[in-house]
Amino acid sequence: MGSTSTKIKLRTSDQKVFEVEKAVAVQSQTIKYIYENGCPDSVIHVHSVSGDILSKILDYCKKHVNSAAGKEDISPEELYEWDANFVKVDQNTLFDLILAANCLKIESLLDLTCQTVANMIKGKRPEEIRTTFNIKNDYTIEAEEAVRRENKWAFDMLGGVGTMVIEELADDTMSKCVTNTKSRVCVIAANQIVMMRSISKLANKKSIDVYKQPQNPTTPRIKESVKQRNVGTGFIELFFHFKCKM
Amino acid sequence: MAMCVEDRISSFPDHILCHILSFLPIEEAVRTSIISTKWRYLFASISTIKFDGHLMRGLTDRNVDSFKNFVDRLLKFPDQVSLDCFRLDDIVSWNDKDRNFDVSDWICAALCRGVKEIDLDLDNLGNILPALLFTCHSLVTLKLVAVGSEITVPSDVCLGNLKTLQLRNASFVGDSIHRLISNCHVLEDLAFIHCDSDYLREVNIQSPSLKRLVLDFDLGESGNLDYVVVINAPNLVYFQYTDAVVEGYTLTNMKSLEKARLNICENDSIDCETSATHLIQGIRNVRSLSLTTDEAIFRTSQLPIFHNLIEFEYGGHGFNGIETWLVEFLHCAPNLETLNLNFPVEAGTRWKALPIEVPSCLSFHLKEIEISCFMTHMIEMVSYFLDNAMVLENLIIRTKGLSVTQTRKVSNQLLQLLKSSKKCLIVIL
């Protein structure tokens, strides 16, 4: 009876036992299946998950169950922030969470953690990715050339449309510009460097890369043909293509 | 973030690495092939393929052939796992500058790979959609944005597994809508957003499986208002409707309806009141209703009794006589528990001397009132509710339009008002 406070016992790989509410535990499709097809009173073994990791995962599940059921007054934006903080962990823990979310079949957590790793890959050159994850490059020179040829379109892309802020703008106009731009890149003019930090913060949320305008505008990163477009409110967006050699 | 000492990521199972790659723009996913030999072909097994405007703008002319070759290998290689999602969006034009992509062919290839979801936002969509799309058995979700394009639905349409269908800015001729929907036997979620109604005579939705329905015709901006809406959906749980009131409404069999959201405005060219009343009578079973109107669009004397209505949200720009209208509406909701009001109130309105009885919901059921945009002269309205809501527990007042001083003044005034319900808590946000 008392289905609202039914508890499920979970034992981890390091023999720690957790007692959790059923509604929280069944966020894991694996646990749900075992519970529904086995003896409801016995302890469920989660072999491949350690106590520390399971503890974190249960925090996640609890937060999401409570927010969905309206037990906690938390807006979607606040939940998003909470999730973002949840994945601010060291790499080892993040990977443990991914493997556990996969094994426990918690789709939203798997998506969250995989998205986090994707953000660590995004915008980086191969060498930078290797350094981040300590991956050894085991290609021969010939093999590497072959890979570049196989899909040369991807290794030779234009960096895309950039946005340059050149006027002296108030903070909120600056925010509007970053929020509304479709660019993936924002270059800040030399005389706007003081804005760099606040723009970077906004830009990070949208996965926009922020660069300082180089001293010498003819460096290999920036090409010619600048098109100018006036988008009102004294703000001019310059579109230019720049070459990103990957 | 602290690094691992060893390379843990490369030892993840392939499907997890592919899942990670599916969150990257496709060009970056492809570039991971150069990281190490383990990563060389991972991108080829991604289950979500998305091409967008950013990709198009970055592709140089001399690499177009390499890209076409890549797409062919990606979509058509034998022994591929089935695709979860194929998405083309924000494409200004895929066929300019002699690039000549065969988009229809790509869509067919995705269909042949048993794709579950297709999202397309393309110019000239009507001419690109292959007929094969409409007889695909693997499709579960279909989302089309077809600005200015007419969608032709073939006569043998049959989407046996389609659960979600979302059409934006599309234009339809004749009974294509009806034909499409009646041949989707498990359809649960249907949305028409900002679609062109120029050639419509009727929007006819007959679906025993439908649970959610959104009809958003942009408050009559899309043109013609000369059509009728016919809905027969016994399992419909959620109904959202935005339009000027049209010629006629026949809503039958809405017995499962729990929540409705109506945003309607007046239409001078028809007998608006009668039509609107038919609309609201059709949804009288709802538990939760959100209504946005600018005029007294229903004759309150013709309103049905909303026996199941426990939550009511009313918004709009306000009109003359809104107090009387609102109280008359409350008479039709005898079991109402939550009321949310979001409209401006003119100064000097007659809340103090309303010529009608207090509605029974106020006396017996109403527990929570929320006023979303409080202005100083709404005190009379608040006073009316505090006087008459006998079982009120929460009065929430949101003062986002007021300054700090004004809010403080209002708080003092409010806290001095007499409350008929001893349990009542006033919360000012």
Cα of B88 to nearest chain A Cα, Å: 16
- One-letter identity of residue B48: T
- One-letter identity of residue B325: W
Cβ pair B27:A154 closer than 8 A: yes
In a domain, A71, yes or no: yes
* Candidate from A144, A153, A182 with C-beta closest to B34: A144
Give the pLDDT of residue B231: 92
Cβ pair A147:B8 closer than 8 A: no
* Candidate from A117, A118, A156 with C-beta closest to B60: A156
Q: Give the position of tokens 């029974």.
A: B360
Give the pLDDT of residue B306: 93
Give the pLDDT of residue B178: 83
Q: Report the sign of the C-alpha dihedral through residues A48, A54, A56, A60, in that order.
A: positive
DSSP-derived secondary structure for B119-157: EEEETTHHHH--GGGGG-SS--EEEEEEEEEEPPPPTT-
Cβ pair A118:B34 closer than 8 A: no
Distance, CA of B217 to chain centre: 12
Q: Which residues of B touch A122 (CB under 8 A)?
A: 24-25, 28
Closest among B249, B262, B353 to B306, alpha carbons compared: B262
Cβ pair A133:B4 closer than 8 A: yes
Closest among B56, B46, B42, B54 to B23, alpha carbons compared: B46
In a domain, A35, yes or no: yes
Cβ pair B30:A95 closer than 8 A: no
10 Å CB burial of residue B100 (0-12, 13-18, 19+) is exposed
In a domain, A20, yes or no: yes
Write the DSSP symbol of residue B47. Answer: S
Cβ pair B31:A160 closer than 8 A: no
DSSP-derived secondary structure for A40-104: TTSPEEETT--HHHHHHHHHHHHHHHHHHTTSS---HHHHHHHHHHHT-S-HHHHHHHHHHHHHH
What total number of domains does chain A contain? 1
Give the pLDDT of residue B119: 94
CATH number reported for the structural domain that contains residue A83 in this entry? 3.30.710.10
Cα of A177 to nearest chain B Cα, Å: 18
In a domain, A50, yes or no: yes
B311-315 and B117-122 strand pairing: unpaired
Residue B97 CB-half CA count within 13 A: 11
Chain A nearest-CA residue for B71: A151
Chain A nearest-CA residue for B62: A153
Phi, psi (rounded to 5 degrees) for B82: -70, 145
Beta bridge partners of B52: B89
Chain B interface, best mutation among A151, A181, A243, by max B CB count within 10 A = A151
Give the pLDDT of residue B93: 56
- One-letter identity of residue B340: N
Cα of B40 to nearest chain A Cα, Å: 8
The per-residue pLDDT string of chain B (429 residues; one tens digit each, 9 = 90 and over) reads 555 678 999 999 999 999 999 999 999 999 999 999 999 999 988 989 999 877 877 777 788 889 999 999 999 876 677 899 999 986 655 555 567 788 889 999 999 999 999 999 877 777 788 999 999 999 999 999 887 778 888 889 999 999 999 998 887 766 788 888 889 999 999 999 987 766 777 888 889 999 999 998 876 665 677 788 899 999 999 999 998 888 889 998 888 999 999 998 888 777 888 888 889 999 999 999 999 988 878 777 888 999 999 999 998 887 878 888 889 999 999 999 999 998 877 665 677 777 788 899 988 999 999 988 888 778 888 888 888 888 999 999 888 777 888 888 888 888 888 788 888 888 887
- What value, to the nearest 5°, has the Cα angle with vertex A186 and ends B17 and B20? 5
Residue A240 to residue A224: CA distance in whole angstroms = 7
Q: Which residues of B touch A94 (CB under 8 A)?
A: 1
Q: Is B355 on the interface with A (CB under 8 A)?
A: no
Cβ pair A91:B3 closer than 8 A: yes
Cα of A218 to nearest chain B Cα, Å: 20
Window 62-121 of B: residues touching A by CB (8 A cutoff) are 63-64, 66-67, 70, 90
Angle at which helices A91-104 and A107-121 cross, to 10°: 150
Q: What is the mean pLDDT of chain A?
A: 77
Give the pLDDT of residue B174: 66
Chain B interface, best mutation among A111, A112, A153, by max B CB count within 10 A = A153
pLDDT one-digit tens code per residue, A87-146: 999 999 999 999 999 999 999 999 999 999 999 998 888 888 999 999 999 999 999 999
B317's enclosing H/E stretch is none
- Is residue A181 predicted with pLDDT exceeding 80? no
Cβ pair A151:B70 closer than 8 A: yes
Cα end-to-end distance, chain B, whole Å = 39
Q: What is the 3-state secondary structure (H, E, C) of B262-306?
A: EEEECCCCCCHHHHHHHHHHHCCCCCEEEEECCCCCCCHHHCCCC
In a domain, A48, yes or no: yes
Enclosing domain of residue A61: 5-121
Q: Which residues of B touch A129 (CB under 8 A)?
A: 32, 35
Q: How far lies B36's CA from each of A154, A192, B8, B9, in Å?
A: 16, 40, 13, 12
In a domain, A73, yes or no: yes
In a domain, A158, yes or no: no
Cβ pair A129:B32 closer than 8 A: yes
* Candidate from B4, B16, B23 with C-beta closest to A134: B4
Beta bridge partners of A10: A18, A44
* Candidate from A89, A119, A153 with C-beta closest to B63: A153
Q: Which residues of B touch A148 (CB under 8 A)?
A: 34
Q: Which residues of B touch A120 (CB under 8 A)?
A: 1
Residue A17's SS3 state is strand
In a domain, A198, yes or no: no
Give the pLDDT of residue A232: 37
Window 95-114 of A: residues touching B by CB (8 A cutoff) are 95, 98-99, 102, 110, 114
pLDDT one-digit tens code per residue, B165-180: 999 888 776 678 888 8
Q: Is B57 on the interface with A (CB under 8 A)?
A: yes
**Which one has a higher pLDDT value, A4 or B296?**
B296
pTM over 0.90: no
* Chain A, chain B: beta-carbon pairs less than 8 Å apart: 128
Cα end-to-end distance, chain A, whole Å = 61
Q: ipTM of this model?
A: 0.76
Q: Is B1 on the interface with A (CB under 8 A)?
A: yes
Cα of A61 to nearest chain B Cα, Å: 21
Q: Which residues of A touch B1 (CB under 8 A)?
A: 88-91, 94, 120
Q: Which residues of B touch A126 (CB under 8 A)?
A: 31-32, 34-35
Cα of B22 to nearest chain A Cα, Å: 8
